[in-house]
Amino acid sequence: MPGLFVTFEGGEGSGKSTQVARLAARLRALGMDPLVTREPGGTAVAEGIRALLLDPERRPVPLAEALLMEASRAQLVATVLRPALDAGRICLCDRYADSTLAYQGAGRGIDRAQLAQWNTAATEGLSPDLTLLFDVEPSLGLRRRGDAPGATNRLDREPLEFHERVRACYLELARSQPERWVVFDASLGTDELEAQVWETLSPRLSRTRV
């Protein structure tokens, strides 16, 4: 039986990572064993790339940033995601290929058609079954990030206009593939969002057993 591949997307401070953790906890409570991972990251190689990409003291040029993202993604897909999906597991991924279109495409200005080709190469065509977009006004999301414990990262420190371009791209992507994307109002409370995520996902769980 095939697995189920669910990705979580959204701007900074959208709360998507919290929803990944909450959904994983629900699934475990039902006796399932979801794979929970993130981009960039999820493997030793990719976590090293993540540290470099988010370091405020480093500023790779946009093209280098995009290529590092693709390298991280290729490693994650080949060594973690595909084996788990082949085993029939539910895979929850905090960001995936759409983030590159939004951040390095709309945000940095790299040609999105080129990025889409790189995404296809890095993922070997692996596309999510479902993508959950947590949409929030960038000003609110950045304020949340500033209020949260811990240091802000390099992307948090980009100007508001950058984050507005990222948000606009996400919404455009969601409109272009409504069969894959579900958009949530991320200004809502955490519990309400959790309930909406569960309502969206639970009908699909018959596709997998683990």
Sheet holding 4-10, edge to edge: 35-38, 90-94, 4-10, 130-135, 181-185
Average pLDDT over every residue of 172-193: 97
Domain containing 104: what range?
A: 4-207
CA dist 12 and 198 (Å) reads 22
Whole-number pLDDT of residue 146 = 77
Alpha-helix residue ranges (DSSP H) falling in 87-189: 97-100, 112-123, 138-147, 160-176
Question: Contact 23/198 with Cβ under 8 angstroms?
Answer: yes
- Share of residues in the chain with pLDDT > 90 (%): 84
- Token pair belonging to 163: 């984050």
Whole-number pLDDT of residue 61 = 95
| Greater model confidence, 85 or 2 | 85
Average pLDDT over every residue of 90-114: 98
30 Cβ contact partners less than 8 Å away, ≥ 6 residues apart: none
pTM score? 0.93
> What band does 209 get if pLDDT is binned at 50, 70 and 90?
low
> What band does 210 get if pLDDT is binned at 50, 70 and 90?
low
- Token pair belonging to 71: 């390298």
Question: For residue 20, is pLDDT > 60?
Answer: yes
What are the E-state strand segments in the chain? Answer: 4-10, 35-38, 90-94, 130-135, 181-185
What are the CA-CA distances from residue 193 to residues 32, 45, 82, 199 (Å)?
21, 33, 28, 10
Look up the CATH number of the domain holding residue 90: 3.40.50.300
> What band does 122 get if pLDDT is binned at 50, 70 and 90?
very high
Number of domains in the chain: 1
Average pLDDT over every residue of 136-155: 81
